[in-house]
């Protein structure tokens, strides 16, 4: 029996070697596992499909979105093996999707808020990272720093995390305002860079293109999370091109949080057409209902994105991976082999 075109497409995407640069650990476990864990630990009865997975669901604001972590993830993480259990499910999902490389954003503020022992949590993460590597998925832990806690906290958090070998870099996230742009955190970034760590930031998600410009021009950032507002400024688009900045785009996330007018109007295709190095990411699949593979499927069906286009965006991600030449070459070879099989005849 000849497979239909949609089925061939799904099979091709399932087999594709992928990379994800923008994934938050605490928003990455599968809902079915969250549901099972909270029933096992707390006897909670949660719906098989949560209301926020409905296609027409939109979060009222960033506060409602953050409430999902408080309501469903914190009670799990407060159990003895919470982080280990959560990470085990995330690793399973990444391996299942054939995600070969991922930069996993770990929110250190959550550990402090829940009064957990940082050393123990990082030991659990290190074990999971090693396990993932044995299964073919390279995970780099990126410490997410909450911009709303100020520049001094950011500096202290960078210094606090540097002794741990499992930490590969730092990201600035949280509620974005003109007062919390990346250029306000120069001291923290200098310490991280001097230690050989990657530095990247969320910018242009909730704030305008000036936030992106500040991150790139003043803070020297070359990897931007979201960056959707860049499309509002031809000057900023040209600036991204000149600096070779890679933009980690998360279409469904931006739609569900109301940071773009609609999925159809998401600027990922316009920025790509302009020559900006975009990548595709799922951000927080626990809350948005789509993992990276499903996000790819949605772009193919809703925006008619080609497999070659998805491959180019994946290559953009592999190019900035924290990897040696041998590993990067392996990623490229796998991707090219996949393209030859699925994209050319």
pLDDT for 7 = 78
pLDDT for 1 = 37
Contact 201, 229 (CB under 8 A): no
CA–CA separation, 246 and 313 (whole Å): 10
- 278 φ, ψ to 5°? -95, 155
CA–CA separation, 128 and 111 (whole Å): 17
pLDDT for 330 = 97
Q: What does the domain layout of the chain look like in residue ranges?
A: 19-342
How would you write the pLDDT of the chain (345 residues) with one tens digit per residue? Answer: 335 566 788 889 999 999 999 999 999 999 999 999 999 999 999 999 999 999 999 999 999 999 999 999 999 999 999 999 999 999 999 999 999 999 999 999 999 999 999 999 999 999 999 999 999 999 999 999 999 999 999 999 999 999 999 999 999 999 999 999 999 999 999 999 999 999 999 999 999 999 999 999 988 999 999 999 999 999 999 999 999 999 999 999 999 999 999 999 999 999 999 999 999 999 999 999 999 999 999 999 999 999 999 999 999 999 999 999 999 999 999 999 999 998 864
- 291 φ, ψ to 5°? -85, -175
Helix 150-161 crosses helix 186-194 at what angle (to 10 degrees)? 10
Q: How crowded is residue 92: how many other Cβ atoms within 10 Å of its Cβ? A: 17
> What topology does CATH give the domain 19-342?
TIM Barrel (3.20.20)
Q: How crowded is residue 32: how many other Cβ atoms within 10 Å of its Cβ? A: 12
């Amino acid at each position: 029996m000849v497979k239909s075109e949609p089925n061939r497409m799904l099979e091709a995407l399932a087999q594709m070697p992928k990379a994800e640069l923008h994934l938050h650990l605490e928003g990455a476990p599968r809902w079915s596992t969250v549901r099972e864990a909270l029933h096992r630990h707390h006897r909670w009865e949660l719906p098989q499909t949560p209301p926020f997975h409905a296609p027409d669901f939109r979060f009222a604001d960033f506060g409602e979105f953050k409430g999902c972590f408080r309501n469903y993830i914190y009670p799990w993480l407060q159990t003895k093996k919470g982080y280990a259990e959560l990470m085990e499910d995330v690793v399973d999902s990444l391996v299942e999707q054939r995600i070969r490389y991922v930069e996993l954003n770990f929110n250190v503020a959550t550990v402090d808020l829940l009064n957990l022992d940082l050393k123990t949590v990082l030991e659990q993460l290190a074990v999971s990272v090693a396990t993932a590597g044995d299964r073919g998925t390279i995970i780099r832990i990126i410490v997410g720093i909450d911009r709303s806690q100020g520049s001094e906290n950011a500096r202290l958090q960078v210094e606090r995390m540097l002794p741990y070998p499992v930490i590969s870099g730092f990201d600035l996230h949280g509620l974005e305002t003109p007062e919390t742009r990346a250029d306000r955190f120069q001291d923290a970034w200098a310490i991280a860079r001097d230690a050989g760590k990657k530095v990247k930031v969320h910018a242009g998600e909730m704030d305008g293109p000036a936030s992106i410009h500040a991150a790139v021009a003043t803070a020297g950032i070359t990897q931007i999370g979201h960056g959707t507002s860049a499309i509002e400024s031809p000057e900023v688009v040209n600036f991204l091109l000149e600096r070779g900045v890679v933009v980690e785009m998360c279409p469904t996330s931006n739609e569900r949080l109301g940071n773009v007018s609609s999925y159809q109007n998401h600027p990922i295709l316009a920025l790509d057409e302009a020559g900006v190095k975009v990548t595709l990411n799922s951000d927080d699949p626990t809350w948005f209902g789509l993992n990276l593979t499903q996000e790819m499927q949605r772009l193919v069906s809703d925006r008619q994105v080609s497999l070659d286009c998805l491959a180019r965006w994946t290559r953009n991600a592999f190019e900035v991976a924290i990897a040696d030449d041998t590993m990067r070459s392996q990623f490229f070879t796998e991707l090219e082999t996949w393209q030859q099989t699925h994209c050319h005849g």
